[in-house]
Amino acid sequence: MSKNKDRVVRTLAKYNLEADEIDWQPLGADFEMCGRSGGWYVHLTNGKDYMALNIDFLINEIETYEGHHTDPKLIQKYCNHIPIYINQYDHSEGCKCCKCNIYLDITT
């Protein structure tokens, strides 16, 4: 097994889950209006499916939905940080993550 598949198996094992299928396809263009094709696909023995474009997003999805995290430190650890401006009219105040609500230092 590859290093990334091992990461997925270890993450699932933390929650006593087992995968029927773990598949990765190269990213590419799909049909018109369909977005990208490829990425990670995991089908569990209990019928759940997880899909993501890269391994970090996949691990994040599994940890978030199976772990039911409520601890702010764990939420920040597995958060993909979606930045929003603190003040939509004055962008000089900076950004925070809309999911875990921490201050983000975004410099261009």
| Span 32-67, pLDDT tens digits | 777 777 889 999 998 889 888 888 888 888 887 776
pLDDT above 70 as % of the chain:
81
Q: What per-residue confidence (pLDDT) applies to 86?
A: 84
Task: Say if pTM beats, i.e. exceeds, 0.85.
Answer: no
Report residue 78's pLDDT band, with 50, 70 and 90 as the boundaries.
low
pLDDT exceeds cutoff 60 at 70? no
Rounded distance between C-alpha atoms, residue 19 and residue 58, angstroms: 13
Rounded distance between C-alpha atoms, residue 44 and residue 40, angstroms: 13
